[in-house]
Every structure is written in C-alpha cells, then in structure tokens.
C-alpha cells in the first residue's frame, strides 16, 4: 500500500486499518505518496468496490457522501483502491496512476468519463472533454491502468 504524507499522521491508501467509521482526518484533505500520486479523504455514502470511480452524491459538505458513479456526465471525485462499506472514511486516488473499472477493453491513449454502469468509466467522444476522468495508459480489459485526472 502507498504510504501517504501531508496529513501529519501515518496513513496508507487502501489500508483496511485506515478505513474506519470514525474520521481520522479532515474530509476533503489531500495527501500524497512518494510517487506523487494524490489522494483525497472521503466518506462513503454507499458500498464502493475496489476500482470503482466515485462521485459526489450532492451533499453540501462535498466529501461526506461519495458513491460509485451511476450515469454519464458525472464529475468523478476519484477511484477507490479498495472496497469501502457505507459509512466508512478513507482515501480515494484523486490524481495519478491507478486502475479503474471500464465498460470493456479500451485501447491505450483513450479518454474515459463516467458511464451509465455503476462505478465504471467509458470512452468519451473526441470533442467531449468536460467530464474527462482518466486516460488509458495500457490497453487491456477492465480494470484499466489509467492516469486519473482528478478534480
């Protein structure tokens, strides 16, 4: 697991011990690993599977209710590196290299955005970059190794 810095404590992205029902850091706080990948501290408002792209539910507080994407044109908050139970706090990958679920095989260097399938991303039209969430780095079946764009 990636050891994170920037929060004044010892955290690891994806570590089950750092997913708790009690907040250990400020919601929305950013942290980084030694490779420069960026993570955001959030609270799951529903069950989230590893590799799911997650979005805001619409809470005024922003990061206290993130859920798997469920429709096209949704802003992606990040990608879950590990599963979350509803109500758990933890880190999602906001910007950097990680694996995300896709609707199928996608060639390298293709942009991805939210799809109508829960937690997955799909290819975008060449002119549609408003909701671009990731760029595929390695051609493969789902999950894809991508550069996650972040917001």
Segment 7-43, tens digit of pLDDT? 666 666 665 556 778 888 888 888 888 888 999 999 9
Q: What is the mean pLDDT of each run of 10 residues along the chain (151 residues)?
A: 65 63 86 89 93 83 85 88 92 92 86 89 68 83 85 65
The closest of 131, 138, 130 to 110, measured between CA atoms, is: 138
Can you spell out the DSSP letters for the chain? -EEEBSSSS-EEET-GGG-BSS-SS-TT-EEE-TT--EEEEEEBSS-B-TT-EEEE---TTSTTSEEE--STTPPEEEEESS-B-TT-EEEEEEEEEEEE-BSS-B-TT-EEEE-SSTT-EEE--TT--TT--EEEEE-BSSSEEEEE---
The confidence score (pLDDT) of residue 43 equals 93
Give the global pTM. 0.86
The confidence score (pLDDT) of residue 140 equals 81
The confidence score (pLDDT) of residue 63 equals 83
Residue 51, CA atoms < 13 Å, CB-side half-sphere: 13
The confidence score (pLDDT) of residue 105 equals 85
The confidence score (pLDDT) of residue 51 equals 93
Question: Phi and psi at residue 20, in whole multiples of 5°?
Answer: -130, 170
């Amino acid at each position: 697991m990636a050891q994170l810095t920037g929060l004044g404590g010892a955290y690891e992205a994806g570590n089950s011990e750092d997913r708790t029902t009690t907040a250990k850091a400020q919601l929305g706080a950013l942290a980084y690993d030694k490779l420069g990948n960026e993570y955001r501290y959030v609270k799951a408002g529903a069950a989230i599977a590893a590799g799911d792209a997650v979005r805001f539910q619409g809470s005024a507080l922003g990061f206290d209710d993130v859920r798997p994407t469920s429709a096209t044109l949704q802003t992606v908050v990040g990608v879950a590196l590990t599963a979350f139970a509803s109500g758990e706090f933890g880190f999602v990958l906001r910007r950097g290299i990680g694996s995300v679920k896709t609707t199928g095989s996608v060639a390298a260097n293709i942009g991805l955005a939210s799809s109508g399938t829960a937690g997955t991303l799909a290819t975008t039209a060449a002119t549609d970059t408003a909701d671009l969430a990731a760029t595929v780095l390695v051609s493969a079946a789902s999950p894809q190794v991508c550069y996650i764009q972040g917001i």
